[in-house]
Amino acid sequence: MPSSTSILTIVGVCLLLHSAYSCQQYRSILSAFPVDLPASYDPAKPPLDVVIECIVGFVFCLLAKVLETGPYLVVISGTGEKGRSAPLYETRDFDSFNTRVRILAKSK
């Protein structure tokens, strides 16, 4: 039996696919009619129900993947050392840079 997260993922993907199909069908219907339509029937903008369906499908997929990760685990250092630092580099080239302020100060 599939888990609830996989069912939620499948429903979310189906909603996303259906919203894409509905948007394509909406545009094909509008292009089939050569008459002038009101501004609310703009083929460049999808209908509101398609937008809502797309958002709900995305939220379902996102929620399923977040729930699938499981509980967070506590991270504890096994060695018990408190004072750790990054290794010292021989040169500090990576953090030396010139900004406009330094260049303007030198030119004055």
For 15, counting Cβ atoms within 10 Å of its Cβ (0-12 exposed, 13-18 middle, 19+ buried), the class is buried
DSSP 32-80: H--S---GGG-TTS--HHHHHHHHHHHHHHHHHHHHHT-PPPPP--SS-
pLDDT band at residue 88 using 50, 70 and 90 as cut-offs: low
Stretch 4-20: mean pLDDT, rounded? 94
Stretch 75-89: mean pLDDT, rounded? 64
Question: What sign does the CA torsion over 101, 105, 107, 108 have?
Answer: positive
DSSP state of 85: -
**Two tokens, residue 52:** 């809502």
**Two tokens, residue 7:** 């069912």
Give residue-wise pLDDT tens across range 19-71: 999 999 988 888 887 677 676 677 778 889 999 999 999 999 999 999 888 88
Residues 6 or more apart from 51 whose CB is under 8 A from it?
19
pLDDT band at residue 86 using 50, 70 and 90 as cut-offs: low
Q: Contact, 10 vs 65, CB < 8 A? A: no
Q: What's the one-letter identity of residue 96?
A: S
